[in-house]
Structure 1
Amino acid sequence: MKTLIVDDERLARKELMSLLEPHKKIDVVGEATDVDDAIEKINELNPDLIFLDIQMPGKSGFDLLESLDHVPRVIFTTAYDEFALKAFEVNALDYLLKPVQPERLEEAIAKLHVESDRNPSPTDAEKRSLGKDDQVFVKDGDKCWFVKLADVRLFESDGNYIKVYFGGNKPMIHKSLNALDERLDDRTFFRASRKHIINLGWVENIDTWFNGGLLVQLKGGEKIEVSRRQAARFKERMSL
């Protein structure tokens, strides 16, 4: 598993590399000292896993994750306050408090192997589009989530932001719907209108609507109008 270590502290990077040596399935292919360096290395190396520090000069580990379309598997390595960690601890693969203890590292890697067996890493070609098995990082205020796209039922445009619907959550991200639409796999996601992209796997009911359009109800309860222009494509996609 190609692995990148992102940490501004040289000694922390070296210590982690030493701790990882006995784990033969972890192949450390690079180190990054800050967010900009990490973005460059991620684009160059396409790692499957990132060991990521949170507090770094300039930009944080959260800033890095927000800048990525496709988020590799992430294990946090941080001295971050335990209470702040509660914002994302149930969503991250794992987090390790510094100084990293060998037994906690083993637990994290064990979780990684279980998760990898369930969801093999996509190939470089598959990473070009975002499909249902990909995960994205969503941050809204103090709350953070790693969200599998299969669990996102709806993207809704709201000015310069997008509201992301998953579970009982509706956080906002700063991105245009057009830019997102270009990255999403059209086998899973459908541009229903100027304001909405829906996950086809979450469609529950379909009714005819005004002017030749359709009204789609999602399993989360949302009702989305499919424009007349898109209705024919939607019927073809859903084999109506």
Structure 2
Amino acid sequence: MKVLLVDDSRLARTELRHLLTAFPEVEVVGEARHAGEARAQLQALKPEVLFLDIHMPGETGFELLASLDEAPQVIFTTAYDEYALRAFEVNALDYLLKPIQENRLAAALEKVRPRLAAPVLPASPPAEAAATPLGAQDQVFVKDGERCWFVRLAEVRLFEINGSYTQIYFEDHRPLIPRTLQHLELRLDARVFFRANRQQIINLEWVESIEPWFSNTLKIRLRGGPEVEVSRQQSGRFRELLSL
């Protein structure tokens, strides 16, 4: 696994290189201090994985990616958590906060291995590709106030409107994110996530029971709660979706 380290901090590059020595399959083929150096080394060295800082002199990590015709698998390394959602929107595999922990680095590398044989994704996908559904095994970054989580979508049982935010139900957590259900519906895999009504999107894998409700509608109980009433129109779609 050939990797390139891009960070304007020599200390950060040295520390990451040291952490990567714990993974014998990883070969650090080069380092770059800024986007210009990274662009040249990407062309010359053809790394398979790019560990990329966001804030650098001149161009940011996002601007570097946008300038490339194609890019290797990308893992962002940064001291700032506010760019995580944007990072996943450009198909980053992971988002490591400094100081990088070895267990988080190991988890990021685990995501790389099954993808190395896959075609390289465009660094700056066209608009229609940006809406590629996120599958159940994809991981997303969630921040609510001072708390942060990396969550597999398979673990999320419900998205629910709460004022001008959307509340996410996973485990015992209920963080709020500044996203609309319309936005989420475009991003989520429709084979897994179903718009039950104007207020809620459910994960079909978490459905525990279904019962007829008023006016030909349905009531669905999710494992771990809560109960969700499916609108009349969506009840018809739900029956079609699950019928043979």
TM-score (norm 2): 0.70
Change (3 A) 1:229 1:37: same
Aligned residue in 1 for 2:158:
154
- Counting matched residue pairs gives 207
Matches for 1:116-195 after TM superposition, within 5 Å: 120=115, 124=121, 128-195=132-199
Aligned residue in 2 for 1:212:
216
Q: Distance in 2 between matches of 1:4 and 1:224?
A: 47
Aligned residue in 1 for 2:60:
37
Would the aligned equivalents of 2:158 and 2:170 in 1 still touch at CA under 8 Å? yes
Change (3 A) 1:53 1:156: same
Q: Distance in 1 between matches of 2:148 and 2:4?
A: 21
Would the aligned equivalents of 2:93 and 2:111 in 1 still touch at CA under 8 Å? no
Change (3 A) 1:53 1:131: same
Identity fraction in percent: 37
Q: Distance in 2 between matches of 1:16 and 1:127?
A: 36
Q: For 1:16-51, what per-residue CA distance to the aligned partner results, in whole angstroms no more than 9, with x for missing partners? A: 575559722874547444298233345555653424
Q: For 1:170-214, what per-residue CA distance to the aligned partner results, in whole angstroms no more than 9, with x for missing partners? A: 000001110111111101100111010000000011111112111
Q: Which amino acid aligns with 1:150?
A: A
Which runs of no fewer than 5 residues in structure 2 stay unpaired?
A: 29-46, 122-128
User: SS of the residue aligned with 2:60?
Assistant: helix
Q: What is the CA-CA distance between 1:129 and the residue it aligns to?
A: 1.2
Q: What is the CA-CA distance between 1:12 and the residue it aligns to?
A: 3.6
Q: Distance in 2 between matches of 1:75 and 1:148?
A: 16
Would the aligned equivalents of 2:211 and 2:219 in 1 still touch at CA under 8 Å? yes
Q: Distance in 1 between matches of 2:207 and 2:13?
A: 49
Would the aligned equivalents of 1:154 and 1:165 in 2 still touch at CA under 8 Å? yes
Aligned residue in 1 for 2:10:
11
Please provide the CA RMSD for this pair: 3.4
Matches for 1:41-60 after TM superposition, within 5 Å: 41-42=64-65, 48-54=73-79
Would the aligned equivalents of 2:139 and 2:153 in 1 still touch at CA under 8 Å? yes
Q: Distance in 2 between matches of 1:162 and 1:46?
A: 32
Greater Cα offset, 40-49 or 217-226: 40-49
Q: What is the CA-CA distance between 1:115 and the residue it aligns to?
A: 5.4
Would the aligned equivalents of 2:74 and 2:92 in 1 still touch at CA under 8 Å? no
Greater Cα offset, 107-116 or 138-147: 107-116
Would the aligned equivalents of 2:209 and 2:220 in 1 still touch at CA under 8 Å? yes
Alignment of 1:228 onto 2:228: no
